[in-house]
């Protein structure tokens, strides 16, 4: 079995917002939700193992079905239960996914009773946009890696793309009887609806609730952990050498960082800009402070590693990466987008050394990296889910005394295209995105 992603504390959040904990009269429905939550993640962790996946899938379905069963056994605690529950019964019966959960539960006795099959979504990735995918049958016992390496040979591409392109293969478990909906997406929907049912049941614990219908759209939101795409379901194969690409992650404990050595090397840190790190409306203040730190590091060390800062309601998260080529960048920024979804980040700030060059109309598709007249710069680019975009460059000059940085220049004439996977995630999370990333097309090209 795979290593768990979550500790015991994670499963105490069942999505109902109940503050009564063990003293809640609805402890039995809460318990079934937590059971379903655990089985959901066990199924997710074993997505590539048909036997284990099916076992945990069945366990999750059974736990979800039991939520309404134990709720009805707890009806004595709910004032005016029949009147309150009647519109809920109508909603649950009218929901095709909830109907599927009921029917699946009624026929699951042993592994294999649920009619599922495995498919693969295959796409060729050569830029930061979401490419069209084709779906094909995928034998359950075949690995993603072997299918990817086979298809790279069978799906040739133009020679000009082979140096950067990669093949993306995503495994999907689908049920025949719910319109080929991916099974974990179906379970996440069912869980969210039932969690809101139990949340709503806390109202008539105090006083009867009189209503005949429910809102067309329930306000409950899926648990963030159920909306993430686990990277174990996806493989990337590089076209130029048929190699499987993976991202090696290293988690650093902040408490073990050599803070004293940093102070000794860089001296006193600049004071934080007013408003920095105080919500999405203060993105520019946060950028000003982080770029002042980046300038200090660049002038002291002569270089600056690429960093991404994730701004969340819980604070600032930091990630660094070291891409070796453009293919690595395509993969890394998809990983950044996944992290944005996991953290529920409302803004992303990227700081790195870049190449800059004047736009050449004779070579409109030439990147700054390939320009014969390119210059170096330290750059900050930031984007938020609200549609705000900030980009600053400071030219890098080399002298006998080390690196000197020019003044900050506003370069916000075009959103960097590498932000596109992030914006795609925000569209999915919020149903909108105010900024559509496009390649920088002004006087400066930046890569």
Predicted local confidence at residue 293, as pLDDT: 92
- Report CA-CA distances (Å) from 42 to 58, 59, 185, 230: 11, 10, 14, 12
Position 109 scores a pLDDT of 46
Q: Is the pTM of this model over 0.85?
A: no
305: nearest Cα among 287, 318, 288, 289 = 318
Q: What is the pLDDT of residue 115?
A: 59
According to the 3-state scheme, what is the secondary structure of 292-348? Answer: HHHHHHHHHHCCCCCEEEEEECCEEEEEECCCCCHHHHHHHHHHHHHHHHHHCCCEE
Residue 11: its pLDDT value, please? 67
Q: What is the pLDDT of residue 207?
A: 67
**What pLDDT is recorded for position 300?**
92
- Up-side HSE of residue 37: CA atoms within 13 Å toward CB? 25
At 157 the pLDDT is 87
Task: Give the other-Cβ count within 10 Å of 16's Cβ.
Answer: 21
The residues pairing with 300 across neighbouring beta strands, listed in sequence order, are none
pLDDT mean by block of 10 residues, the chain; 447 residues: 60 74 86 94 89 90 94 92 92 90 66 68 91 87 89 87 91 79 90 92 77 60 75 88 84 70 81 78 91 93 93 88 90 92 91 89 83 92 93 93 92 84 87 51 44
The per-residue b/e assignment along 119-156, b for 16 or more CB within 10 angstroms, e otherwise, is bbbbebbbebeeeeeeeeebebeeebeebbbebbeeee
Side-chain-side CA neighbours of 73 within 13 Å: the count stands at 8
Q: What is the pLDDT of residues 284-335, one digit of tens each?
A: 999 999 999 999 999 999 999 999 999 998 888 888 888 888 899 999 999 9
pLDDT given for residue 438 in this prediction = 47
Yes or no: say if 418 and 329 are a contact pair by the CB < 8 Å rule.
yes
Where are the domains positioned within the chain?
8-113+183-225, 249-446
CA distances 445 to 325, 370, 379, 391, 429, Å, are 18, 10, 12, 12, 30
What pLDDT is stored for residue 265 in this prediction?
87
pLDDT of residue 221: 66
pLDDT in tens, 210-252: 665 666 556 666 787 887 777 778 999 999 999 999 887 776 6
Residue 113's pLDDT is 52
Mean pLDDT for the chain overall: 84
């Amino acid at each position: 079995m795979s290593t768990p992603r979550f500790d015991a504390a994670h499963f105490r959040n069942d999505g109902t917002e109940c503050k009564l904990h063990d003293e809640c009269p609805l402890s039995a429905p809460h318990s079934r939700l937590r059971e379903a939550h655990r089985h959901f993640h066990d199924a997710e962790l074993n997505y590539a193992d048909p036997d284990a996946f099916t076992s945990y899938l069945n366990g999750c379905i059974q736990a979800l079905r039991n939520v309404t069963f134990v709720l009805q056994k707890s009806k004595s605690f709910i004032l005016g239960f029949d009147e309150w529950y009647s519109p809920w019964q109508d909603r649950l019966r009218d929901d095709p996914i909830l109907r599927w959960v009921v029917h699946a539960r009624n026929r699951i006795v042993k592994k294999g009773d649920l009619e599922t099959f495995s498919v693969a979504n295959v796409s060729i990735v050569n830029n930061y946009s979401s490419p069209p995918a084709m779906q094909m049958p995928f034998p359950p016992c075949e690995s993603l890696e072997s299918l990817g390496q086979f298809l790279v040979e069978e799906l040739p591409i133009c020679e000009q793309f082979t140096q950067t392109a990669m093949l993306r293969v995503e495994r999907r478990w689908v049920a025949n009887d719910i319109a080929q909906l991916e099974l974990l997406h179906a379970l996440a929907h069912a869980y969210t609806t039932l969690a809101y049912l139990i949340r709503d049941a806390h109202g008539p614990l105090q006083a009867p609730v009189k209503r005949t219908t429910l809102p067309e759209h329930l306000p409950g939101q899926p648990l963030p952990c159920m909306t993430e795409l686990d990277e174990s379901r996806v493989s990337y194969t590089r076209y130029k050498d048929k190699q499987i690409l993976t991202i090696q992650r290293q988690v650093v404990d902040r408490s073990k960082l050599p803070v004293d050595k940093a102070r000794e090397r860089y001296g006193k840190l600049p004071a934080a800009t007013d408003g920095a790190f105080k919500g999405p409306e203060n993105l520019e203040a946060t950028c000003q402070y982080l770029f002042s730190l980046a300038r200090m590091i660049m002038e002291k060390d002569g270089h600056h590693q690429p960093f991404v800062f994730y701004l969340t309601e819980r604070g600032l998260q930091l990630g660094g990466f070291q891409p070796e080529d453009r293919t690595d960048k395509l993969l890394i920024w998809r990983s950044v987008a996944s992290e944005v979804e996991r953290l529920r980040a409302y803004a992303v700030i990227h700081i790195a050394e870049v190449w800059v060059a004047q736009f050449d109309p004779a070579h409109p598709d030439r990147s700054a990296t390939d320009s014969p007249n390119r210059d170096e710069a330290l750059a900050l680019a930031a984007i938020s889910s609200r549609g705000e975009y900030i980009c600053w460059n400071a030219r890098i000059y080399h002298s006998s005394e080390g690196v000197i940085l020019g003044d900050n220049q506003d370069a916000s004439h075009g959103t960097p295209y590498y932000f596109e996977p992030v914006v795609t995630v925000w569209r999915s999370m919020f149903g909108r995105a105010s900024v559509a990333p496009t390649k920088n097309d002004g006087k400066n090209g930046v890569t």
